[in-house]
A and B are shown apart, each in its own frame.
Chain A
């Protein structure tokens, strides 16, 4: 992807850096914390920029490539900038049986974006996800790690309204 030049350079805030360093110092094998450290930085900045990957590598005494291997492997680690609310639409088999496609289409037309894109106001990002284990609530979606389902277009509108209202 093209690196977004507008992103604030995520030099870690001193507080986060020290807390991470302390956490790392407590374990025998620092690299086992790589996913936690990536999440901590992602929580701070929304996504994991190139600088962040290099920062993680430095903190854990790994090569940037080793961090990138994991960062690009996991669905919930974002290497591209995302909106305030990341909507993951489950597209696995049970949600498919219960018609996730109509939910996805509704979201696309409502937000005016395609899968993988972010709304121009920077609020919503649409992404697919494979089974999240909420087959009992299918069709289900995740918004910032919170599960919503079973969904209908009406319920979805309500959820989006609420989120918009929160800004």
Chain B
């Protein structure tokens, strides 16, 4: 551990620490442009110069390029270094335009800060300035190359860090240009980070273009709820709306960056169509009146038919408080539910994932970056949780090997092995791979069931020889690895897969590997939903109850059944049978429009809340701003009203937990914070796993891991082998695999206008063999006949996917909700080419 002196203060840092980082530990921030802690050093901008007075180097040197060494004496304030930096800044400013007033970076611009703090106030150079033409880079990033200082952060981030290759550096010398080969939308789903990392205003945030200055924003720490990873963000609120979201550094979760779905997925909260007024039979009423009516109607219903005529459904995007409140209400009132999952098999998968995530196995997203082998079982990282792909990219950059076992045409921005086996073969393929890689003789302290489990795995010869070859190759890499991590998805896999993944991680651990386990779950709060979900009764039973008239009242909390349930027609008919449909939500979903009584709830940004990520990390989000219609909408874009009312327009929405408490209690309820505390205090009664959580304000910055103490799924179950024996697919038919895409399938981002502009055409994917036997070629239009009618989509023919399936995105513009039961098989006759 080298010890050095910076500005007369001594500090000891780990070997390999750069002087610029060592100084930062002392609270001395040395100026920098090209250096970024997430990207490392290149020494391109020359602005981090400091003077080395003693030690192995002497004189003015770049502090980002030199490792801290024993005996170094460094001065950041030495006259020579100060002058050097001042000249560098003046030189970088030679070509910089005088456009700060119309630049969105102004106010949080590193170049602006350095120019001012470096004392370069007056321009001395009066020569001509270099200019560039800008490019169109898509709906998220605005390009203004004149402002560039050639620090290379963008191209390093884009190509090296994220692995995409459509933005880079062209030309040479002072004409160096950063951009694309041609105008066009940036391909990387991490492109939004360019506006964060650019030290000046070359890349700025397009959706928030010209909205305001950072000093005016109400900036608040937040998290992203557009997938289960729970990346940290900063929400910037102004005039009663969130206008921008940026990445917030997190040691454990996302590091310095976030994906574009997370960055731009927040617009549902300020969507103009968002319902902010309580409705009874479509008429606007006051919140209290709507609650009164709901309570009366529920009372009548219960009086005539009993409490189990009422059922409750919530979702994976509700906060823990709301989910728990609903659970408590159902328990005390005797209502049915709550259901958090619509698909029983999904509920089981999440349950087994959350219960098998032992503390010895669970790894965080950042820990995944240091894996030397990542085995992905049934997940498509870029499409399901883009930040997972970015973490895997970091592991790959450090020499880690990646293998993906998935039937979909998985595409990742780096090299990996893709074992594109059919959905039925995923479990077998993963098991064969682990079996080939694990030498049972080397296994220490493996329990007897583990040995039996290992021995029960079929022989490698059971699969085709080409797959055998592939498996053997990947297994060799797995065998050589020391820190392998298994990533297991829940979206397309069989019910037994999550448990199987955990068993394999245990097998790897038994052979002295530091094995880890990482699950992907379907929603932001799936983990907490699964901790709260009751064992008895499924959503389908509830649906049947509605259909046969035993259930007459339905309470939906932040749940769009017409979007998520696979049979929309059946759901609509069921809605018609209901005597009372109460919907609590913050988006104008189809389901919301069907409600008899609608109660607006506030969003994460207005209420705050607790969310538990897929690794069981409980994170508390504070409120960013008060509920209310954005001023821009109140005034139609013009100046705010000149006369103020005593109440905030559109300030009706209440947090879900509060609305629920008021819905069931006659007596006046305490304020939302008190209600929240009482829900949280009662959590451990709902599930003992919550007993370990400290008070909210004592939680660490990165949250804390909750692990389920349940032993519901035993280790080393052999269920998956029995599943193999069942032959599921009828002959000559294709299994319909419903999947998510990066954009256009996730629920909340469907309310985000900038993300809609990124949507790709809804296409179904088919293996080239299937397409050939159906007489289809790429980009043909087909109709697929489902149980409730036909569906038109274009076909994308792929080689890198499993045969025997149709991969269909749950695309916003594709009405896929025409399926009677899942899994669904489509025969060849049901697929017809549309002649143009």
A–B contact (CB under 8 angstroms): yes
Could you tell me the distance between the alpha carbons of A68 and B166 in the complex, rounded to whole angstroms? Answer: 10
Asked if B171 and A65 make an inter-chain contact with CB atoms under 8 angstroms apart, the answer reads no
Could you tell me the distance between the alpha carbons of A62 and B180 in the complex, rounded to whole angstroms? Answer: 14
B165 (CB) vs chain A CBs: closest residue = A63
Could you tell me the distance between the alpha carbons of A69 and B172 in the complex, rounded to whole angstroms? Answer: 9
Least CB distance from B154 to A in Å reads 13
Could you tell me the distance between the alpha carbons of A65 and B154 in the complex, rounded to whole angstroms? Answer: 14
With A63-B181, A64-B181 as given contacts, are A72 and B168 in contact (CB-CB < 8 Å)?
no
Asked if B180 and A65 make an inter-chain contact with CB atoms under 8 angstroms apart, the answer reads yes
Asked if B166 and A65 make an inter-chain contact with CB atoms under 8 angstroms apart, the answer reads yes
Asked if A66 and B170 make an inter-chain contact with CB atoms under 8 angstroms apart, the answer reads no
Least CB distance from A80 to B in Å reads 13
Least CB distance from B160 to A in Å reads 13
Within 8 Å CB of A68, what residues of B?
168, 170, 181
Within 8 Å CB of A53, what residues of B?
181
Could you tell me the distance between the alpha carbons of A69 and B166 in the complex, rounded to whole angstroms? Answer: 11
Determine if B443 is an interface residue (Cβ-Cβ < 8 Å).
Answer: no
Asked if B171 and A72 make an inter-chain contact with CB atoms under 8 angstroms apart, the answer reads yes
Within 8 Å CB of B172, what residues of A?
72-73
Determine if B169 is an interface residue (Cβ-Cβ < 8 Å).
Answer: yes
Could you tell me the distance between the alpha carbons of A53 and B168 in the complex, rounded to whole angstroms? Answer: 15
A17-49 interface (Cβ within 8 A of B): none
B164 (CB) vs chain A CBs: closest residue = A63
B273-309 interface (Cβ within 8 A of A): none
Could you tell me the distance between the alpha carbons of A72 and B177 in the complex, rounded to whole angstroms? Answer: 10
Interface size class of A (residues with CB under 8 A): 10 to 19
Determine if B357 is an interface residue (Cβ-Cβ < 8 Å).
Answer: no
Could you tell me the distance between the alpha carbons of A167 and B30 in the complex, rounded to whole angstroms? Answer: 62
A71 (CB) vs chain B CBs: closest residue = B170
Q: Mark B162-196, 1 if CB is under 8 A from A, else 0.
A: 00011111111000000011100000000000000
Least CB distance from B133 to A in Å reads 11
Least CB distance from B95 to A in Å reads 19
Q: Mark B529-553, 1 if CB is under 8 A from A, else 0.
A: 0000000000000000000000000
Within 8 Å CB of B165, what residues of A?
62-63, 65-66
A63 (CB) vs chain B CBs: closest residue = B165
Within 8 Å CB of B168, what residues of A?
65-66, 68-69
Within 8 Å CB of A65, what residues of B?
165-168, 170, 180-181
Could you tell me the distance between the alpha carbons of A53 and B172 in the complex, rounded to whole angstroms? Answer: 18
Least CB distance from B483 to A in Å reads 27
Within 8 Å CB of B181, what residues of A?
53, 63-65, 68
Could you tell me the distance between the alpha carbons of A63 and B168 in the complex, rounded to whole angstroms? Answer: 10
A67 (CB) vs chain B CBs: closest residue = B181
Q: Mark A54-86, 1 if CB is under 8 A from B, else 0.
A: 000000001111101100110000000000000
Least CB distance from B39 to A in Å reads 18
Q: List 7 A-B contacts (CB under 8 A).
A: A62-B165, A64-B181, A64-B182, A65-B167, A65-B180, A72-B170, A73-B172
B residues in contact (CB < 8 Å) with A:
165-172, 180-182
Excluding A68-B170, A73-B170, 17 further A-B contacts by CB distance (< 8 Å) are A62-B165, A63-B166, A64-B181, A64-B182, A65-B165, A65-B166, A65-B167, A65-B180, A66-B168, A68-B168, A68-B181, A69-B168, A72-B170, A72-B171, A72-B172, A73-B171, A73-B172
10 residue pairs, one from A and one from B, having the closest CB atoms: A63-B165, A65-B181, A64-B181, A72-B170, A72-B171, A65-B168, A68-B181, A69-B168, A73-B172, A65-B166
